[in-house]
Amino acid sequence: MNKLQDAARIVVKDCLAVKEGEQVLIIVDEPKRKIGELIFAAAKELGAEAILTEMIPRKNHGEEPPKLIAKAMRYADVVIMPTSKSLSHTRARIDACDAGARATTMPDVTEEMMKRALNADYEVIKERGLKVAEKLTMGKEVKVTAPNGTNIKMMIEGREGHPDTGIYYNSGEFGNLPAGEAYIAPIEGKSEGKFVVDGSMAEAKVHTEEIELIVEDGYVTEIKGTEAAERLREIIQPYGKDARNIAELGIGTNDKAQLTGNILEDEKVLGTVHIAIGDNAGMGGVVSVDSHLDGIIEKPTVEIDGELIMKDGKLLIK
């Protein structure tokens, strides 16, 4: 329990700099109740006005929380969200940050993940993430290839790269915990090619199933594969075409993270990239839909305007 308690303290003290008297709202659902209680206790130790609230689990990543919770989020100084489905790309989270909250989501976080990936050197991760994000911001076109057949081009000119540093000290700042990526929203309608997920995505089993996604004019037009591919089709079907939008390119920057089949940690693994489909309104895009699903690609090669940023899974930016 001590390592878990230490990890909870890192969340509130080191990552979010919670201060005495601040209103800290912790949102959980039943599967993550224990983790939420540990974070609640850690915030209370710091003298914060800690509030723990539990909601019914959402059906999908990106689905909005209840209106009552969304309203409370706008009045909090800090919002911490260890939930089984991600609230990262919800209107409620965006509105809370716009109102000044420092916020972090921890979708499907596990106890083992907390003990492992939250004990990384976040100052190093921050520096790495800032450098990669700057490259993305300055770029016009990104090309991602991989031994699994991935070959996709995405236009990013005019979009801002964002570092997920794990350090959110200023009003309105937001990111995941465990943290460690740099990401950007490609321009809608401008991505072409295909990407093959061989890490994890939605219900895909890590290292055991691949999903091939064909991309035309910025949207996934075909999903090929076996059980995982069929499950992915079922998940996004209710949300229409917008759920097939090429929403994000992310580059992992956390050297302590491991591929486990859990997207929260998998997308942070140093030496991987992920491409998400669906909502990107919270990261500078224009598509708003109640679905955002990341697909992890191993051993990628990444070029920005012809410059190699990553080669066969080795990040070349120091």
Q: Does pLDDT of 318 surpass 80?
A: no
CB 295 within 8 A of CB 211: yes
- The mean per-residue pLDDT over the stretch 151-180 comes to 95
Give the per-residue pLDDT at 98.
97
Give the per-residue pLDDT at 203.
66
Q: Does pLDDT of 23 surpass 60?
A: yes
DSSP 254-304: BTT---SS-HHHHTTBTTEEEEEEE--GGGT-S---S-EEEEEEES-EEEE
What does the domain layout of the chain look like in residue ranges?
2-117, 122-315
Q: Give the confidence band of 286 by pLDDT, cuts at 50, 70, 90.
A: very high
- The mean per-residue pLDDT over the stretch 256-282 comes to 93
Please tell me which residue, 176 or 193, carries the higher pLDDT value: 193
Assign a CATH topology to domain 2-117. Answer: Thermophilic metalloprotease-like (3.40.1830)
Separation of alpha carbons 73 and 82, rounded Å: 14
Q: Give the confidence band of 2 by pLDDT, cuts at 50, 70, 90.
A: confident
